[in-house]
Amino acid sequence: MHKCSNCGISAKTKKKLKEHELLCKLEMKSIVVENIEPTNRQMWVLIQKLAKQNEILIKKVEELERVVHKDIKKINITEWLNKNIQVTITYSEWLNELNITQEHLHQIFNENWEKFIEDFLKLECSNKSIPLKCFHHKKNCIYIYDKKWKKATEKDLVKIFNKFQNKILKESIKWEQELSHDQKFGSGSMSFLRKNDKILVSNTKLKEKYQKIIKLHIIKNIKEELDSNFKYQLTI
């Protein structure tokens, strides 16, 4: 009997021992593969062993795929929201209660609509009770709560800019009432007209631009993950 110098296992012949020692050394990582010059017989044994290991790995991967597929849950977002997320204010109420002040009006005067939208929504979206939701897994989808959760349409989202503009115009009327006749019609009239021109958005393309900016900042500020403890496929 011939014994393996690595593990002590016995082999009946030197030929069998060499075949075993080659595999044994590979498994024990005690040799550098590049320095091995196996015989044809040893190569055949190695190939057979690798083929067997590959077959085992394929079976394990297939089993894991079956387990993962089994654990995947199909989730309808609106159903999930209606079941799990409660808010105290509806989308319509939220729009009506947006607190736009003289400070916001002057921000548009001194900067622009884009900066106002960015700053206002960043602060507004920090309120956890806001009736808006957005998830990483459904890009560009915003969900709103109006007595029940639903996927927001473009028509729903247009209401945000319309409400912004209406409230800004109301603030501008208050501001205008404080101005003197000279500020409105005299030497200060050019400044007065420029400021009014800034807050009035009648150009359709410009309106669409601001509506896209609103959607972008809402998604940026409220986007979140669903429960990470399970796998899921999302539907509307």
Q: Are strands 73-76 and 132-135 parallel, antiparallel or unpaired?
A: unpaired
What confidence score (pLDDT) does residue 235 get? Answer: 57
DSSP letter, residue 188: T
Distance CA 157, CA 9 (A): 75
Of the chain, the end-to-end C-alpha distance in Å amounts to: 71
Q: Are strands 73-76 and 149-151 parallel, antiparallel or unpaired?
A: unpaired
Neighbours of 224 (CB within 10 A): 9
Q: Tell me, letter by letter, the H, E, C secondary structure of 47-78.
A: HHHHHHHHHHHHHHHHHHHHHHHHHCEEEEHH
What confidence score (pLDDT) does residue 6 get? Answer: 72
User: Residue 172: phi, psi to the nearest 5?
Assistant: -70, -30
The answer to whether the beta carbons of residues 32 and 48 sit under 8 Å apart is no
Distance CA 49, CA 118 (A): 63
The answer to whether the predicted template modeling score (pTM) of the entire model surpasses 0.85 is no
What confidence score (pLDDT) does residue 140 get? Answer: 83
The domain ranges of the chain are 2-71, 73-235
Q: Which two tokens stand for residue 47?
A: 């190939």
What confidence score (pLDDT) does residue 67 get? Answer: 58
Q: Which two tokens stand for residue 24?
A: 């044994």
What confidence score (pLDDT) does residue 97 get? Answer: 96
The answer to whether the beta carbons of residues 144 and 131 sit under 8 Å apart is yes
The answer to whether the beta carbons of residues 160 and 95 sit under 8 Å apart is yes
The answer to whether the beta carbons of residues 156 and 163 sit under 8 Å apart is no
Of 92, 82, 94, 79, nearest to 129 by C-alpha is 94
Q: DSSP for 139-169? A: TT--EEESSSEEEPPHHHHHHHHHHHHHHHH
What confidence score (pLDDT) does residue 218 get? Answer: 96
Average pLDDT by stretches of 10, the chain with 236 residues: 73 73 63 60 79 87 67 74 92 97 97 97 92 85 95 96 96 94 89 92 93 96 70 53
User: Residue 132: phi, psi to the nearest 5?
Assistant: -135, 140
Quote the distance between the C-alpha of residue 139 and its chain's center.
7
Distance CA 178, CA 77 (A): 49
What confidence score (pLDDT) does residue 229 get? Answer: 42
Q: DSSP for 96-153? A: HT----HHHHHHHHHS-HHHHHHHHHHHHTT-TT-SEEEETTSTT--EEESSSEEEPP
